Amino acid sequence: MNSQRQSPLYRSRLLQPGADRSPDTHPLTWRLRDDGQVVGLKEYESKEGYRAVSQVLNGHDPGAVIAAMKEANVRGRGGAGFSAGLKWSLTLQGDDIPRGYIVCNADEMEPGTFKDRLLMEQQPHLLIEGMILAAFANNARYGYIFLRGEYVESARVLTAALAEAREAGWLGPDIAGSSFDFDIALHTGAGRYICGEETALLNSLEGHRANPRAKPPFPGQSGAWGKPTVVNNVETLCNVPAVMLRGAEWYQGLSGDRTDDGGTKLYGASGLVNRPGLWELPIGTTGRELLELAGGLREGRKLKAWLPGGASTGFLLPEHLDLPLDFDTVGKEGSRLGTGLITVVTEDQSMVALMRNLEEFFARESCGWCTPCRDGLPWTVKLLLALERGEGEAGDVELLDKLAADCGPGLTFCAHAPGAAMPLQTALRHFRREFEQGVRYPRGKAHADPIPAGGV
Amino acid sequence: MATIHVDGQSYEVNGADNLLQACLSLGLDIPYFCWHPAMGSVGACRQCAVRQYKDSEDDRGMLVMSCMTPAADGTRIDIEDEEARAFRASVVEWLMINHPHDCPVCEEGGHCHLQDMTVMTGHDRRRYRFRKRTRRNQYLGPFIAHEMNRCITCYRCVRFYNDYAGGTDLGAFGSKDNVYFGRHQEGTLESRFAGNLTEVCPTGVFTDQSHSDHYTRKWDLQFAPGICHQCAVGCNISPGERYGEIRRIENRYHGEVNGFFLCDLGRFGYGYVNRQDRPRVPEFRSGKECEQGGEQKREPAQEPEQLGVDTALARITETLRHARRVIGIGSPRASLESNHQLRELVGEANFSTGINENEQTCLDLMDEQGRSCGLSAPTLRDVEGHDAVLLLGEDPMESAARLGLSIRQAITSPPAEYAARLGIPRWHADAMKTLAQDHRQPLFIAYPAETKLDTLARSRLALAPEDIARLGFAVAHAIDPTAPDVPDLDATLRSRASEIARALLAAERPLVVSGGALNSPAIIRAVGNIARALARRAKRGGLLFVRREVNSTGLALLGGQPLEWALDQLVDGNADAAVILENDLYQRLPEAPVDAALARVEALVVLDHQRTPTLNRATFSLPAASFAEGDGTLVNLEGRAQRFFQVFEPGYLRPEARIHESWRWLHGLSAKLNGEIPGDITLDQVTLACSRACADLALITAAAPDAGFRIEGLRLAREPHRYSGRTSMRADQSVSEPRVPQDPDTALAFSMEGYSGFRHPHQQVPFAWAPGWNSPQAWNKFTDEVGGHLRGGDPGIRILNPRPGHYHYEGDIPAAYQPSGTDYRAMVLPRLFGGEETSALVDPIRRRMETPVLLLSEADATSLGAELGGLVTVTGEQACVTLPARVQADWPRGLVGLPAGSVPMGIADGPVTLTAGPGSTPTPGEEVRP
């Protein structure tokens, strides 16, 4: 076992014992071992592994796969919640259309998110199986796993698993005797948040700057190297084998009557909680349940706010803890489900400092393509820094409002800047006083030194 | 067509456009940065936001980027929406965060798109109070100055340089608010289209270094509609003058020829106009050739005596009158009018084109093939629409670079119907680029040397001229079996020929490009056969021949004897006087025969604007106008007659100067010779006379409006209305301001008084300016739609069109090239920088020239014992040269490639011998220029 995983700081750990997990209720994690060791090919095969591939590929009906996925309504687990089945049904196929690509978006870099890592580090074959099924459904010739560069352990595990799968005939020509051919390459990124944006990911994969592409055309029309391409998140793809084996109805039923969304979700918690980690739970689990599973806040702190699914989601308040965490409900409260890994903010933490930290991240990770993101976010950071230091000017908070509003959806080239604007807007709405406290100077008064040497 | 609704008004627009294009074409102003008419939309800058409504019911709508939104039928938008305006103001405010306030010292100031857009959006208060980001600049070579602090990160530079022009050494580095546009390290930009960065960049990051060396604001420059004289493409230029010097060349939009872009030779090769050593007054040299003991000798050189105009005309007339016979030698770098006037002076029987025999044979063949084979010559815009290109024995990137850029566009654009199936509109630049990676149009190149288009080519064949011709004949045969077959063709070439034929037949619009680069009539005949074969298969194909010089096409139409004939007349004593028009004979034939012929001339009259070796031998020399000081008509390689107009009056700032158009001088001589009083003549009279004298040139009077043209009763102003300093710019000479020069020849005025607007359509636009549009983007105000045609019509008139019905195939197929084993054949290959006579006199061009090398095959280099980069001496019958050797892997055996402009004339006229090491007998041609 990797020493990193034994560290108490290692949070990409499932906090549900094996006894609590079964094939019928935990499609993503039931095979995981309590010792955290990798589920190898043998073990995977012995636990229904690649059974879906054998069945589906020899059914020779890609349309049925897409139909099942649509019916199961597997919504994209990367955070956007777009139906994977619908995405697949929109991917171009035909005799005069070249076979394209399946790309697994494994560039997990959303702050506070570490769920894909668990799946890749401990159960790589589930992802591979999901990709084979997706390739079959979308008539893809080749697959790429675009992996976050810092996920060294995932890279090691995936590399070994790909070799195992290829050796066993699950990848390559004529998979499982179905005459379907497909293979997968692992591509490790260079550590850019924007590569998680699917079209920036494709540009990066092609060897270009990781700037997003304008949509339309969507990747399903003209993706990697101009060919039809499906980009799905790790967790999304990991749901496919179970949907194929057990059916859409079963999948829909997993969440009971908590929500309209079906299936389970890898939820998690981080921040000042007692037991940060991951749980596979029915989608629609509430924030309060998650906090309880995480053992509550450390040292009796009080909850001030929480992010439902990563840094690019809006802040929710303690009063929102009983909402089911699904894609639509959270959206109605001015936030998004995002990745479903909650981050808690306690009463003793400064929202201004927190926002400055987050915006620094978003400003740093801007690809530099469109103006609002490239030049607006750094300005936001400088204003927040001034407020944090108590050197703000009258009008700074209103300027932050305006900057956040100007980074709204549709105004910027991709969803990066809107993702940076959402927490800022919600923080300004809920905790405005904290920001206003940083204002010290009247508006527009010249500094003694207009450009403070070495200053912001 | 589609109907769109903008701010409550309905308009008819082209539904294939995006909203930004459509609105700009309607004359509505929307600010923008990253969009460019020639490069399409990428949606990066977010400056062009407008509010779009779903339908007439929708009263909320949402902000969209107009450049990324199709102008579909029924689209409803508001440009003047409050929120859209506020957002556009925010975008400019962001862009200005790091932009320095250096407009007063910035060379972009006054023609800056960023200034225009900032004013348009109304941003005038800075709220950002923090530190600005600063950058280091790079040395980018003699053409381009770099000031990265001004960058607003619109990405236009790399999109033009890399995506459009195929460059590889300019990149975007870094990310977030720290994107740096430059080279990986300092050094000269490698692309031959780098100069366009100065116009593509919306602000002052990339500026014209040659302009910087003698900077003047745009509003203080005097302009005229010019034609680039540096090659046969005939790009439209807008030269700007101040204090009697051309200060810069900017692109003059032409919807069919150069569009928005020029090559660097055209943009930076103007300096010969400003040379201090130019002849500015008539001169007389008493030194005379004489024979002493059977050898040519020249009397000790004397300082030329300066003459007044009347004296010069009188003495020259006197001399010519006493001559037994006067030979006139014209020039393909002079206007039709000047050549015609020379022919009038000496008579048709005594007129030579001044082009050497071999080149003239090729030119006549090109003309004949071009007219008789059924395919018409495409304009450069047409070239971009062709979907398969065969380049046979020509390298347009060296000989007609702007054409090379158009060929690049033809090859790199993905098939339109496939893009349409995916729902990708043409203007969606990045999506088209992604698609184009796997969907290039076929390009085949047959040329001995590597070319800058090779990376795009499906295949390239390095062949000797004979084999290129054989390949061409074989392609024709493969297209149409009734075309003659090539005997003994080797199997490789045959399969290549059928591959090429298949690709040309599969294309909707195949294009064949050839020219005189290899001086091979056989190649031109072979190309004619391909064109005929394609025409027989009813292809909407095109055929284009590259000529060497700006008026080669026109002079071939005017006709005349080759230069060798003229020299023979002089050597044989059939004539004892010669008038040479803007032609340096030493650039055309070996030194010895030229020397021999000129030595026999009793009276040699040379008209030129440069002090050439030929002019230095003249008994009388007359200072001719360059393109900047004179008017005239030229015919470009597609057969388009175009007029260029005088930019400034040389005598205004240099009262001693007596520079006139050659046609004016020659008219004066004619008149005096005929005993008439040489009254003045105007351009229109000469053009008309020329058009009547030559049936092929009958249409040239329509190349541009005549001198009587007026708009609203006004002449066209050469100077912007903000032109300053007119009353004082001559104050160092005299405090009284002279009357502004009058222009009897054209409809333009040497003044800011006159028409300089855009609303009235006109064809000849000296400079583009419209209220609020000071940058080159102002051209959008002059076009029928952005990137379309000038509303007044694209300048010039096509005078060459194919005649139907001449489908007989040529059958004179050469034998395959066989290296002799002992001798080599030298081939002088065209070279963009340094290969052209006048621009090679210009400092920035000389600094941009690549080190001349000679090209050898590996086998030949080995057998010679030549080391890589070591010197090899090429010795011919009449000349020899020593250059460093470069081995090209697929260079044909038995050939040696030499760079034009760095080798003596005549070296390629016969077999040469090669020896490793420096030559033993130094000759003038041996000098290796940097």
Domains of chain A, first to last: 3-253 (3.40.50.11540), 264-346 (3.10.20.600), 351-441 (1.20.1440.230)
Instruction: Give the integer Cα–Cα distance in Å for B409 and B380.
Output: 10
User: What does the pLDDT average to over B637-651?
Assistant: 97
To 10 degrees, the CA torsion angle through B661, B665, B666, B671? Answer: 140
Chain A: residue whose CA lies nearest to B172: A209
Q: What is the mean pLDDT of chain B?
A: 94
pLDDT in tens, B37-55: 999 999 999 999 999 999 9
Q: Residue B198: phi, psi to the nearest 5? A: -65, -30
How many C-beta neighbours within 10 Å does residue A330 have? 24
User: What does the pLDDT average to over B94-117?
Assistant: 95
Q: Provide the shortest C-alpha distance from residue B773 to chain A (in Å).
A: 22
User: What does the pLDDT average to over B307-333?
Assistant: 96
Characterize the bridge pairing of strands B871-875 and B797-798.
unpaired
Q: Is B412 in the A-facing interface, judged by CB distances under 8 Å?
A: no
Characterize the bridge pairing of strands B640-644 and B632-635.
antiparallel
Chain B residue numbers with beta carbons less than 8 Å from the beta carbon of A456 are 130-131
Note whether B155 contacts A222, CB cutoff 8 Å: no
Chain B residue numbers with beta carbons less than 8 Å from the beta carbon of A225 are 434, 437-438
Chain A residue numbers with beta carbons less than 8 Å from the beta carbon of B177 are 363, 366, 368, 374-375, 377-378
Note whether B68 contacts A372, CB cutoff 8 Å: no
Chain A: residue whose CA lies nearest to B155: A369
In this prediction, residue B930 carries a pLDDT of 36
Residues B659, B665 contacting (CB under 8 angstroms): no
**CB-side exposure of A380: number of CA atoms within 13 Å?**
34
Which candidate from B62, B94, B430 shows the least CB-CB separation from A376?
B94
In this prediction, residue B76 carries a pLDDT of 97
In this prediction, residue B924 carries a pLDDT of 41
User: Is the pLDDT at B707 greater than 70, yes or no?
Assistant: yes
Q: Is B125 in the A-facing interface, judged by CB distances under 8 Å?
A: no
User: What does the pLDDT average to over B516-536?
Assistant: 95
Note whether A374 contacts B424, CB cutoff 8 Å: no
**CB-side exposure of B77: number of CA atoms within 13 Å?**
29
Q: b/e per residue, B479-513, with b = 16+ CB within 10 A?
A: bbeebbebeebeeebbebbebbbebbbebebbbbb
User: What does the pLDDT average to over B153-161?
Assistant: 98
Note whether B176 contacts A366, CB cutoff 8 Å: yes
- The CATH classification number of B824-926 equals 2.40.40.20
Instruction: Give the integer Cα–Cα distance in Å for A188 and A204.
Output: 10
Where chain A has pLDDT below 70, the residues are 1-6, 445-456
B678 confidence band (pLDDT: 50, 70, 90):
confident
Note whether A371 contacts B45, CB cutoff 8 Å: yes
Which candidate from A368, A412, A451 shows the least CB-CB separation from B131?
A451
Instruction: Give the integer Cα–Cα distance in Å for B532 and B523.
Output: 14
User: What does the pLDDT average to over B252-274?
Assistant: 97
Chain A residue numbers with beta carbons less than 8 Å from the beta carbon of B176 are 363-368, 374, 377-378
Which amino acid is present at B547?
R
Note whether A225 contacts B434, CB cutoff 8 Å: yes
Q: Provide the shortest C-alpha distance from residue A224 to chain B (in Å).
A: 8
Chain A residue numbers with beta carbons less than 8 Å from the beta carbon of B42 are 214
Tokens 């450390």 locate to: A298
Q: Is B127 in the A-facing interface, judged by CB distances under 8 Å?
A: yes
Query: What are the helix and strand counts (H, E) for chain A?
Result: 19, 10
Q: Provide the shortest C-alpha distance from residue B167 to chain A (in Å).
A: 15
In this prediction, residue B926 carries a pLDDT of 43
Which candidate from A214, A375, A447 shows the least CB-CB separation from B97?
A375
Name residue B750's beta-bridge partners.
Answer: none
pLDDT in tens, B566-585: 999 999 999 999 999 999 99
Residues B282, B659 contacting (CB under 8 angstroms): no
Instruction: Give the integer Cα–Cα distance in Å for B492 and B461.
Output: 11
How many C-beta neighbours within 10 Å does residue A260 have? 15
Q: b/e per residue, B147-176, with b = 16+ CB within 10 A?
A: bbbbbbbbbbbbbbbbbbbbbebbbbeebb
Which amino acid is present at B917?
G
How many C-beta neighbours within 10 Å does residue A174 have? 11
Chain A residue numbers with beta carbons less than 8 Å from the beta carbon of B430 are 213-214
User: Is the pLDDT at B237 greater than 90, yes or no?
Assistant: yes
| Interface confidence: ipTM more than 0.85 | yes
DSSP character at residue A370: S
In this prediction, residue B119 carries a pLDDT of 95
Structure tokens at B231: 């090659």
Which candidate from A364, A372, A412 shows the least CB-CB separation from B176?
A364
Q: Is A417 in the B-facing interface, judged by CB distances under 8 Å?
A: no
CA distances to B174, B324, B327, B691 from B353, rounded to whole Å, are 56, 21, 11, 17
Q: Is B83 in the A-facing interface, judged by CB distances under 8 Å?
A: no
Chain A: residue whose CA lies nearest to B43: A413
User: Is the pLDDT at B418 greater than 90, yes or no?
Assistant: no
Q: What is the DSSP string of A98-111?
A: --EEEEEEE----T
Helices A234-246, A115-122: crossing angle, 10 deg rounding: 60
User: Is the pLDDT at B555 greater than 50, yes or no?
Assistant: yes
Chain A residue numbers with beta carbons less than 8 Å from the beta carbon of B438 are 98, 225-227
User: Is the pLDDT at B710 greater than 80, yes or no?
Assistant: yes
B400 confidence band (pLDDT: 50, 70, 90):
very high
User: Is the pLDDT at B928 greater than 50, yes or no?
Assistant: no
Instruction: Give the integer Cα–Cα distance in Å for A59 and A65.
Output: 10
Within the 139-198 window of chain B, which residues sit less than 8 Å (CB to CB) from chain A?
153, 155, 172, 174-179
pLDDT in tens, B451-487: 999 999 999 999 999 999 999 999 999 999 999 999 9
Q: Is B91 in the A-facing interface, judged by CB distances under 8 Å?
A: yes
**CATH fold of the domain at B360-553:** Dimethylsulfoxide Reductase; domain 2 (3.40.228)
Note whether A411 contacts B437, CB cutoff 8 Å: no
Q: Is A456 in the B-facing interface, judged by CB distances under 8 Å?
A: yes
Q: Is A431 in the B-facing interface, judged by CB distances under 8 Å?
A: no
Instruction: Give the integer Cα–Cα distance in Å for A145 and A85.
Output: 20
- The CATH classification number of B2-95 equals 3.10.20.740
CA distances to B17, B393, B479, B817 from B484, rounded to whole Å, are 47, 20, 11, 19
Q: Provide the shortest C-alpha distance from residue B50 to chain A (in Å).
A: 10
Instruction: Give the integer Cα–Cα distance in Å for B223 and B240.
Output: 5
Interface A:B, Cβ pairs < 8 A: 123
Q: What is the DSSP string of B64-94?
A: EEGGGSB--TT-EEESS-HHHHHHHHHHHHH
Q: Is B87 in the A-facing interface, judged by CB distances under 8 Å?
A: yes
Instruction: Give the integer Cα–Cα distance in Å for B210 and B858.
Output: 40
Instruction: Give the integer Cα–Cα distance in Å for A245 and A55.
Output: 8
- Domain chopping of chain B, boundaries: 2-95, 360-553, 824-926
Residues B240, B219 contacting (CB under 8 angstroms): no
Q: Is A124 in the B-facing interface, judged by CB distances under 8 Å?
A: no
Q: Is A411 in the B-facing interface, judged by CB distances under 8 Å?
A: yes
Which region among A338-342, B496-500, B533-537 has the lowest average model confidence (pLDDT)?
Answer: B533-537
User: What does the pLDDT average to over B433-445?
Assistant: 91
In this prediction, residue A388 carries a pLDDT of 97
In this prediction, residue B922 carries a pLDDT of 42
Chain A: residue whose CA lies nearest to B47: A371
Instruction: Give the integer Cα–Cα distance in Å for B717 and B711.
Output: 11
Characterize the bridge pairing of strands B351-352 and B326-329.
parallel
Q: Residue A106: phi, psi to the nearest 5? A: -115, 25
Instruction: Give the integer Cα–Cα distance in Å for B453 and B441.
Output: 13
Note whether A217 contacts B431, CB cutoff 8 Å: yes
Q: Give the 3-state secondary structure of residue B310.
A: helix
To 10 degrees, the CA torsion angle through A315, A321, A322, A326? Answer: 40
Q: Is A402 in the B-facing interface, judged by CB distances under 8 Å?
A: yes
Reply yes or no: is the peptide bond before residue B705 cis, omega within 30 of 0.
no
User: Is the pLDDT at B302 greater than 70, yes or no?
Assistant: no
